[in-house]
């Protein structure tokens, strides 16, 4: 039996009630970090991040097949780089499987970018909401395929998928009888309603994360019963039982994606030597605290004293993630390689007197004003010559008001 202590969810602010769209600065890793941080915040156990011993990321949208997502994921979550990360390719059934096979102190995160974006994370612990594996069936009905190079083929027969895929698999598992599922993840709302008992929870995605969004809904409603997840003809089921999981949802109401232009041009160059030097402070959002003076430097740096002595002795310390806009601009001319317009702000972080230069996220370009409050969030700030470049962006607290 698995005990889920906390569940965090994240939906991008862009899109419509029908489904969310990832921002241009978001990918499966940044979505996963948002959900994972929400789960850690939901657990709220003093030093919950310190309790996590393993991370499993389930997605079919891993940003890098080679080159590594794990370091960014751990840094974004504020977890130790020695923690094991498993990256699993899969949909909703794989997310449920990851949950039921997880040992205590595993963070299971599922993230989707297409067709709808969202992520959810479950923190498996020693106590919490009981989840027991109930059924599993792998069948092949590859109505949609994607090759290693990303080429997608659609067979184009939704009724075949429904009849010979999900329904046939559920029937062979005996899930259509008296003990109907409370929720069915991995399918659209209409199909879920046709299969489930009562009125199943509305789920914002149809991929891996939908299984954990369903679990969050059951945890909030305190319903006990079967939860199924499907992907094409493959199905997994669990039984959700007693116990309580804290749920924290980062789900701002959806807004239309702002108009944006992408100007092709030369690839934005990257120096991986510079990337490597900056990585820890940049992706963990940590300043260098000078040993002698206690002063904070962001980015961390060596200093030279008045006596000419070199001071290299600094320790990395986390920076506050809230602050106020000191100044900001909006770039409206086309800049090759970046979607325009975009806003850049200098944010004065609370309490420490440290300022950071950051792109604005989660708000229409041009709406963030001097004095606005917000928080710093991990985003993919650029893709440079094939390398996703992660850093922190400023997300205004009240983007709608700023826009008004």
Partner 1 sequence: MREVAIVGAGMTPFAEHFSLGIKDLLPMAFAECAASVDKGLDVADIQAAWFGELSTTDGFPSGILADTCGLLDVPVTHVENACATGNDAVRNAVMGIASGFYDVVLVMGADKVRESASKDTFWEWAGMTRDMAWDYPLGLVAPANFALHVARYLHESPATREHMAMVAVKNHHHAVSNPKAQLRFDITVEQVLNAPMVVEPFGLYDCTPQSDGAAALLLAAADVADRYTNRPVRIRGVGLGLDRVMHQHKRDMTTFPATVRAAKAAFAMAGLTPADVDVAEVHDCFTGVELISYEDLGFCPRFEAYKLVEAGATSVGGSIPVNPSGGLKAKGHPPGATGVAQCVELFEQLRGSASNQVDGARIGLAHNVGGPTAVSAVTLLEGPAAAGRART
Q: Does 265 bind partner 1 (CB under 8 A)?
A: yes
| 269 near partner 1 (CB under 8 A) | yes
Q: Which of 64, 70, 137, 278 binds partner 1 (CB under 8 A)?
A: 278
Least Å distance, CB 333 to partner 1, is 5
- Selected from 90, 328, 396, 399, the binder of partner 1 by CB under 8 A is 328
The CB-of-262 to partner 1 minimum distance in angstroms stands at: 12
Contact pattern for partner 1 over residues 244 through 263, marking x by CB under 8 A: -------------------x
Tokens (6 digits) for 53: 């011993």
Strand partners, 262: 339
Q: Which residues contact 82 (CB under 8 A, 6 or more apart)?
A: none
Smallest CA-to-CA distance from 20 within 140, 112, 129 is with 112
Count CB atoms within 10 A of the CB of residue 334: 15
Tokens, residue 218: 């059951």
x/- letters, 352..381, toward partner 1 (CB under 8 A): --xxxxxx------x---x----------x
Choose, by CB under 8 A, the member of 259, 274, 309, 404 that binds partner 1.
274
CA distances to 212, 342, 347, 395 from 216, rounded to whole Å, are 6, 34, 34, 25
**Under rule CB under 8 A, residue 342 binds partner 1:** yes
Cβ–Cβ under 8 Å, residues 69 and 36: no
Minimum CB distance to partner 1, residue 392 (Å) = 10
Contacting range for partner 1; rule: CB under 8 A; set: 67-75, 156-164, 189-197, 273-281: 273-281
Check binding of 331 to partner 1 (CB under 8 A). Answer: yes
DSSP state of 159: H
How far is 304 from 393, CA to CA, in rounded Å? Answer: 30
Number of alpha carbons in the 13 Å side-chain half-sphere of residue 324 = 7
d(CA 331, CA 348): 21
Q: Which positions lie near partner 1, rule CB under 8 A?
A: 263, 265-266, 268-271, 274-275, 277-278, 282, 298-299, 326-338, 342, 344, 346, 354-359, 366, 370, 381-382, 384, 389, 391
């Amino acid at each position: 039996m698995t005990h889920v202590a906390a569940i965090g969810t994240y939906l991008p602010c862009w899109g419509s009630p029908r489904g969310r769209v990832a921002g241009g600065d978001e990918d499966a890793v940044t979505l996963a970090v948002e959900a994972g941080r929400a789960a850690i915040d939901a657990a709220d156990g003093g030093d919950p991040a310190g309790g996590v011993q393993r991370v499993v990321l389930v997605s079919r949208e891993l940003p890098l097949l080679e080159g590594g997502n794990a370091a960014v994921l751990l840094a974004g979550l504020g977890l130790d780089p020695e923690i094991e990360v498993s990256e699993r390719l899969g949909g909703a059934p794989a997310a449920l499987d990851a949950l039921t096979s997880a040992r205590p102190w595993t963070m299971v995160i599922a993230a989707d970018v297409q067709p709808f974006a969202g992520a959810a994370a479950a923190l498996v612990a020693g106590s919490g909401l009981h989840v027991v594996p109930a059924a599993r069936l792998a069948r092949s009905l590859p109505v949609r395929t994607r090759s290693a190079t990303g080429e997608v083929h659609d067979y184009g027969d939704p009724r075949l998928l429904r009849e010979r895929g999900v329904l046939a698999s559920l029937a062979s598992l005996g899930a259509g009888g008296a003990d109907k599922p409370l929720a069915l993840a991995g399918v659209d709302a209409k199909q879920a309603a046709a299969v489930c008992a009562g009125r199943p929870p509305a789920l914002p995605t149809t991929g891996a994360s939908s299984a954990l969004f369903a679990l969050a809904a059951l945890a909030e409603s305190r319903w006990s019963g079967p939860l199924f997840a499907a992907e094409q003809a493959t199905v997994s089921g669990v039984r959700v039982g007693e116990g309580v999981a804290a749920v924290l949802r980062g789900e701002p109401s959806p807004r239309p994606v702002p108009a944006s232009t992408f100007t092709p041009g030369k690839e934005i160059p990257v120096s991986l030597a510079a990337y490597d030097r900056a990585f820890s402070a940049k992706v963990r959002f940590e300043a260098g605290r000078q040993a002698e003076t206690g002063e904070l430097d962001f980015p961390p740096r060596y200093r030279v004293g008045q006596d000419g002595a070199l001071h290299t002795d600094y320790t990395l310390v986390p920076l506050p993630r809230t602050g106020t806009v000191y100044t900001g601009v909006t770039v409206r001319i086309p800049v090759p390689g970046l979607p325009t317009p975009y806003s850049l702000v200098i944010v004065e972080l609370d309490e420490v007197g440290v300022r950071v230069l950051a792109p604005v996220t989660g708000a229409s370009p041009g709406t963030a004003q001097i004095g606005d409050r917000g928080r710093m969030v991990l985003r993919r700030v650029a893709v440079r010559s094939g390398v996703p470049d992660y850093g922190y962006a400023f997300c205004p607290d009240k983007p709608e008001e700023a826009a008004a």
